[in-house]
Amino acid sequence: MIVSRLGGVRIGELTEVRAARPEAVAEAAARRVRLPALPDRPMIIAADHPARGALAAGGDPVAMADRRDLLERLCTALERPGVDGVLGTPDVIEDLTLLGVLDGRLAIGSMNRGGLAGTAFEIDDRFTAYDADAVAASRLDGGKMLLRIDDADPATARTLEACGRAVTGLAGHRLMAMVEPFVAHRVDGRIRNLLTPEAMIRAVSVASGLGATSAYTWLKVPVVPGMERVVAATTLPLLLLGGDIGDDPRAVLDGWRRALRLPGVRGLVAGRSLLYPPDGDVRAAVDAAVALL
């Protein structure tokens, strides 16, 4: 299937447009119709995994490697009623902007992708994509950053400092700073996030205090046991992290449903779980998630 949108280009034409008319990216961004305000219960599709080298989904180690297939899935998801926007790195956001599918949708720029998955320097999560000024200049609606706190890795301090600067910079433009915090450690040389209530309470507490102001900060958090205690650790708005849905979508949906009832939980940001569902039906997966909101 080749996706075409009024005012946009076809997926098969993206490379030609980029090669022959690179200025078309900025022109399309300038034309994009933005939402006047954040929705009350935002539903956002995440697609910033490839830039960190994280291509696996649903047991396939390279599921997200085919860019045309990923864009097809994103376009399908963005068509569904109740989907408010997308989270991505510049390459993905710009492809979708050229396709003309982001009018009237949120576009959140992913900022720190330097902590490549599986590397020795993964905790040193440098800002290699958008910075706050670029998010504003690209007419995006906010910026997202990943913050993993590893007590045994000194690189955590650099990532903390960079995230603090980004929160301050985005607030200066009156744009959402979406912070995704975890406490992490290495197991057999690989980074693993601690998904206990105590670990998430600590991560949320640290992330809430980043930057010169928290006025525009939202937190993106996973559903963990004792979610009530995690939510009680901050007054900042929370968005649920989708993650990989695994082999039991109903259990994941039930967890989201329960968490969305808690005060402070405002919406959902899900990527691989909806774009690469076990049965391959993107429309049905997205609709089931939207129904929870």
- 149-191 residue pLDDT tens: 999 999 999 999 999 999 999 999 999 999 999 999 999 989 9
**Residue 59's pLDDT is what?**
85
Asked if the structure places residue 63 within a domain, the reply is yes
Instruction: Round to whole Å and give the CA distance between 47 and 8.
Output: 20
Q: If we measure between CA atoms, which residue out of 175, 123, 117, 101 comes closest to residue 144?
A: 175
Q: What is the pLDDT of residues 65-123, one digit of tens each?
A: 999 999 999 999 999 999 999 999 999 999 999 999 999 999 999 999 999 999 999 99
Domain extent for 240: 44-292
**Residue 250's pLDDT is what?**
82
Per-residue pLDDT at 5 exceeds 70:
no
The token pair that represents 184 in the structure block? 């992490």
**Residue 8's pLDDT is what?**
66
Asked if the structure places residue 139 within a domain, the reply is yes
Asked if the structure places residue 30 within a domain, the reply is no
The answer for residues whose C-beta is within 8 angstroms of residue 285's C-beta and 6 or more apart is 245, 249, 273, 274, 275, 277
The token pair that represents 97 in the structure block? 């902007």
Asked if the structure places residue 61 within a domain, the reply is yes
Asked if the structure places residue 228 within a domain, the reply is yes
Count of domains observed in the chain: 1
**pLDDT band for position 252 (cuts 50, 70, 90):** confident
CATH number of residue 53's parent domain: 3.20.20.70
Q: If we measure between CA atoms, which residue out of 128, 152, 151, 142 comes closest to residue 180?
A: 142
**Residue 111's pLDDT is what?**
98
